[in-house]
Structure 1
Amino acid sequence: MGDKHRVRFEPVGIEIEVDEDQTILRAAFEQGVQLMHGCKEGQCAACKSFVLEGDMDEIELDRYSTFALPDMEREEGQTLLCRAHAYDDLVIELLNYDEEVLRSGLPVRKGTVEVLSNEPVTHDMRHLVVQQVAGEDIKFFPGQYMDFILPDSGESRSFSMANIPNREGRFEFVIKIYPDGLFSQFLENQVSIGDRLEVEAPFGTCTLRDSRTSDIVFVGGGAGMAPLLGLLRALAEKETERKAVLYYGARTKADLCFEKELHALEEELPSFRYVPALSEPDGTDWDGATGLITDVVRENEPDLKGRDAYVCGPPPMVDAAIALLTQRGVDERHIYFDKFTTTGEPEDEGNT
């Protein structure tokens, strides 16, 4: 362990202690301060912040993409909290934050889980269910995600929980299988019932805001089903009166999953609608919506002013959906999203 320094976040006035051996973001996680973040790898810029007080020479950055933090921005005093190590006391201005989430964060905990089931739900997505068997109890909010540590390489991969918190320490995931995916190939070919894996959680800020009462529009695709399912299950548990609609895009009918449960939720929550759409109908019996999911939203939602929106799935879909939702009147402050990026080496790396 290195020396410790104080880092204060403005304009919220929250202060944490940061060890030189850990990033500022990691220190915040461990102390239950839920800063905005995305990839945690210096590629997405979600945690970009401005150094108000402190010497920039006393901040060391791990490898990062200069697309996320261009040299000019770094010279002006901006930094990436997921890459930044503090070697002096600092005052950081948060450029992107949600005070409700910030102050209600749960500390990140490490643990061991045991695999209860690992079943395919489509040709390229798995429903993984695990239960914690060791370590401090991991708590989470619906919509958050967990990091799994690969046994041999020690690398981590992030996956959103599809269930709501429970006393049994059980976690569910919907994970897309990529032909060259390190964890997904491990999951498809090696993981068996009874296997144990190292994990840590919770991460992520795509959670329900308890202070909000607005109606909700959910937009998802692929494994983005996982956090959206968790959020919908949470709304059902709360017996919410908030109106909600889920637009979920898939290529073919065979790519849809959890159909039975989602239709059951329509019966359980009269204020909820489920709208699946196929971008590549393959001649099967289908009388539902067709086209890209953003096109379907555009056709069905001329005015979304006053709504909250949750968007989860592949980055191109998320970006297109956010642009559309903004055009349709959703306040950007109330668009909560999770981009399901594939992990790789940062492009155009910055210096360490």
Structure 2
Amino acid sequence: MGDKHRIRFEPVGIEIEADEEETVLDAAFRQGVMLMHGCKEGQCSSCKSFLLDGDQQMERYSTFALADYESEEGYVLLCRAHAYGDLSVELINYDEEMLLNGIPPREARTTVGAVEAQTHDIVRLALTLDPADELPYRTGQYVDIKVPGTEQWRSFSMAGLPGGELEFLIKRYPGGLFSGLLDGERLRPGDPLTVKGPYGTCVMRDAPDRDLILLAGGAGMAPILAQLRALVATGTARRTRFYYGARTSRDLFALDEIAELGARIPDFAYVPALSEDASGSYEAGLITEVVDRHEGDLSRADAYLCGPPPMCDAAVDLLTGKGMPEERIFLDKFTTSTDT
């Protein structure tokens, strides 16, 4: 372990201790402080903050997440930053409701319960926790799964509700270090896997007087389906619209369950949008174009977005343009790790 330093977050006045060998974000996790974050790999910019004072160094990151000119101005990615002295950091994005309600991540042993194809490239993975381990989490969060035979971890959102098996909806990528194991042959029921978490801030806020916009693309279905299941379990009466973006009709799945869940919400609609299929059975166009056609003023609504960064960025621009305050847009940007 390295030397330890104090980190003070403004304007909230919260202080933590960080070891030089851990990132500032990991130090916050360890002490139950839930800072805004996404990929934890320097790719998504969710944890971007401003360094007011102190000495830090960052691990390698993507300039798409933090441009060179931003770094020169003093902005940092907390998931890449290591403290080499006491730091004072200004949080750009934070949620006071969540800040001190984090669940410190932990490792847990699991066993594969099922590996089931949902589409040509989406697989349902179910894991059963070891009876001796616990993994508390909130609906909409994600965990890291250790890739068997390596020291690498990959992040996946959970589609199930807390208290049951861990359920994931994972897109298979050619050559994917973990997703490539989900072809029905290399990862089978009974195989052990280690998970670590929880992470993520795409957690439902208590706002019964506001409408809901749920928006997902691809494997972003997982946390949004979890939120939909939770809404039904709590008996919500909120106006709820679920927009899902896919390329063609063969990329759609979970249609029966979504219909069953939607039937239990008084004011609900599910709107799939196909960007490469204008057959007429579903809405045609990018998901943001479809939302634009269907929704008017959104100043009295909250949104939960899960999908690739370009989709999330475009959706944030659209929703804020329709009057939704940006602080009521909660998102989980899915980034793809570079597998070699």
TM-score by length of 1: 0.90
CA shift for structure 1 position 314: 2.2
Q: CA deviation at 1:187?
A: 2.2
Question: Who is 2:8 aligned against?
Answer: 8
Choose the corresponding residue for 1:290, options 284, 308, 311: 284
Post-superposition shift, 1:128? 0.7
The answer to whether the Cα contact below 8 Å between 1:146 and 1:158 also exists between their aligned partners in 2 is yes
Q: Are the structure 2 counterparts of residues 51 and 252 from structure 1 closer, same or farther at C-alpha, using a change threshold of 3 Å? A: closer
Gaps of 5+ in 2: none
1:132 aligned onto 2:129: yes
Partner Cα distance (2:226, 2:156) in 1? 12
The aligned residue for residue 293 of structure 2 is: 299
Q: More deviation in 336-345 or 25-34?
A: 336-345
List per-residue Cα deviations over 1:203-249 (Å, max 9, x = no partner).
11111112564111111111011010011111111111211110112
Aligned to 2:205: 209
Is this contact kept in 1: 2:39–2:334, CA < 8 A? no
Is residue 323 from structure 1 mapped to residue 317 from structure 2 by the alignment? yes
Give the C-alpha shift of residue 282 in structure 1. 7.6
Closer/same/farther in 2, CA of residues 66 and 292 from structure 1, 3 Å limit: closer
Q: Given the alignment, which residue of 61, 76, 84 partners 2:73?
A: 76
> 8 Å contact 1:110–1:135 — kept in the other structure?
no
Q: Deviations over 1:268-302 (max 9, x none)?
A: 1122221122233386xx63322222221111112
Q: Tell me, in whole angstroms, the C-alpha distance in 2 between the residues paired with 1:205 and 1:148.
A: 18
Counterpart AA for 2:17? E
Provide the alpha-carbon RMSD of the alignment. Answer: 1.9
1:96 is aligned to 93
Separation in 1, partners of 2:262, 2:202: 22
Aligned to 2:102: 105
Partner of 2:332: 338
Q: Which moved more, 1:121-130 or 1:253-262?
A: 253-262
Give the match's secondary structure for 1:323.
Answer: helix
Q: CA deviation at 1:175?
A: 0.3
Aligned to 2:139: 142
Q: 1:184 offset after TM fit, Å?
A: 0.8
Match of 1:37? 37
Residue 232, structure 1, aligned to residue 247, structure 2: no
User: Cα distance, 1:133 vs. partner?
Assistant: 0.9
Give 5+ residue unaligned stretches, structure 1.
346-352
Q: Distance in 1 between matches of 2:100 and 2:207?
A: 13
AA of the residue aligned to 2:284: T
**Alpha-carbon distance between aligned partners in 2 of 1:44 and 1:37, rounded to the nearest angstrom:** 8
Counterpart CA distance in 1 for 2:208 and 2:20 is 38
Distance in 2, matches of 1:207 and 1:75, equals: 33
CA distance in 2, matches of 1:71, 1:253: 41
The reply on whether 1:181 has 2:181 as its aligned counterpart is: no
Q: Which amino acid aligns with 2:258?
A: L
Paired-residue identity, %: 53
Superposition deviation, residue 179 in structure 1: 1.5
Report Cα offsets for 1:150-208 as digits up to 9, x if no partner: 12231111110001111x4x211100111132211122241100111111011111111
2:120 corresponds to which of 119, 123, 146: 123
For 1:141 and 1:3, the matched residues in 2 are separated by 33
Distance 1:45 1:196 in 2: 33
Please, which moves more after superposition, 59-68 or 154-163?
59-68
Letter in 2 for 1:264: E
Q: Show the counterpart of 1:277.
A: 273
Q: 1:321/1:2 Cα in 2 relative to 1: closer, same or farther (>3 Å)?
A: same
Distance in 2 (alpha carbons) for counterparts of 1:292 and 1:65: 26
39-48 or 26-35, which moves further after superposition?
39-48
Matched, 1:218 2:205: no
Moved more, 129-138 or 84-93: 129-138
One of 146, 154, 157 as aligned partner of 1:157: 154
Matched residues in 1 for 2:308 and 2:78: separation? 24
1:349 aligns with none
Equivalent residue letter for 1:275: V
| Greater CA drift, 177-186 or 311-320 | 311-320
Query: Is the 1:146–1:200 contact (alpha carbons within 8 Å) kept by the matching residues of 2?
Result: yes
**Take 1:319 and 1:135, find their aligned partners in 2: how far apart are those partners?**
41
Q: What's the CA shift for 1:135?
A: 6.6
Q: Is the 8 A contact 1:149 1:157 kept in 2?
A: yes
Q: For 1:63-106, what per-residue CA distance to the aligned partner results, in whole angstroms no more than 9, with x for missing partners?
A: 12344334443343332211111122222211111111212111
Look up the match of 1:348.
none
Matched with 1:85 is 82
> What corresponds to 1:171 in structure 2?
166
Cα distance in 1 for partners of 2:258, 2:34 equals: 30
Structure 1 distance, partners of 2:31, 2:207, is 23
